[in-house]
Amino acid sequence: MANPVLSRGGQVKGSGATWGAGASGLDADRALMLKLGAAEVLDSFERSTVFKGKTRERNIRGGKSVAFPITGRLAASYHQPGTAITGGGNDPSDLNERVISLDALMIADVAILEVDELMSYFDVRQVYTSELGRALATEYDKRVARMIFAAASNTTQPLAKTINAHKTGNSLTLGTDYTGSSATRQAKGDALVNAIFDARVAFEEKDVPIDGMYGVFTPEDYFLISQSSRAINADFNGGGGGNGTIASGQTLQVAGIPILMSNHVTQSAYTAVAGDHNADYAQDLSKCKGLIFNKEAVGVLTLLSPGLQMTGPEYKVQYQSELLVARQAIGMGQLRAECACKIVIP
Encode pLDDT of 266-305 as tens digits. 999 999 999 999 999 999 999 999 999 999 999 999 999 9
Instruction: Give yes or no for residue 4 having a pLDDT over 70.
Output: no
List, in sequence order, every beta strand (DSSP E) within the chain.
56-59, 65-71, 95-101, 106-113, 170-173, 213-217, 253-254, 257-261, 288-294, 298-310, 321-334, 340-344
Q: Is residue 46 part of a domain?
A: no
Spatial CB neighbours of 185, under 8 Å, sequence gap ≥ 6 = 224, 227
What does the longest C-alpha to C-alpha distance in the chain come to?
89
At 80-139, the pLDDT tens digits run 999 998 877 666 556 678 899 999 999 999 888 887 776 776 677 788 888 999 999 999
| pLDDT for res 155 | 92
Average pLDDT score over residue span 54-75: 89
Q: Is residue 20 part of a domain?
A: no
More confident of the two residues 222 and 247: 222
| pLDDT for res 76 | 84
| pLDDT for res 249 | 65
Q: Is residue 301 part of a domain?
A: yes
Q: Is residue 42 part of a domain?
A: no
* The pairing of beta strand 213-217 with beta strand 257-261: parallel
Q: How far apart are CA 60 and CA 52, in angstroms?
A: 17
Enclosing domain of residue 192: 55-69+96-306+323-344
Nearest to 68 by CA among 258, 301, 284: 301
At 301-344, the pLDDT tens digits run 999 999 988 887 777 777 888 888 999 999 999 999 999 999 99
Q: Is residue 90 part of a domain?
A: no
Average pLDDT score over residue span 230-254: 64
Which of 16-25, 119-128, 146-155 shows the lowest mean pLDDT across its residues?
Answer: 16-25
Q: How many structural domains are present in the chain?
A: 1
Q: Is residue 14 part of a domain?
A: no
Q: Is residue 187 part of a domain?
A: yes
Predicted confidence band of residue 18 (pLDDT cuts 50, 70, 90): very low
Q: Is residue 41 part of a domain?
A: no
| pLDDT for res 299 | 96
| pLDDT for res 17 | 38
Predicted confidence band of residue 3 (pLDDT cuts 50, 70, 90): very low
> The whole model's pTM is what?
0.84
User: Long-range contacts: 56-60, Cβ < 8 Å, 24+?
Assistant: 56/295, 56/296, 56/298, 56/299, 56/300, 56/335, 57/299, 57/300, 57/301, 57/302, 58/299, 58/300, 58/301, 58/302, 59/302, 59/303, 59/305, 60/301, 60/302, 60/303
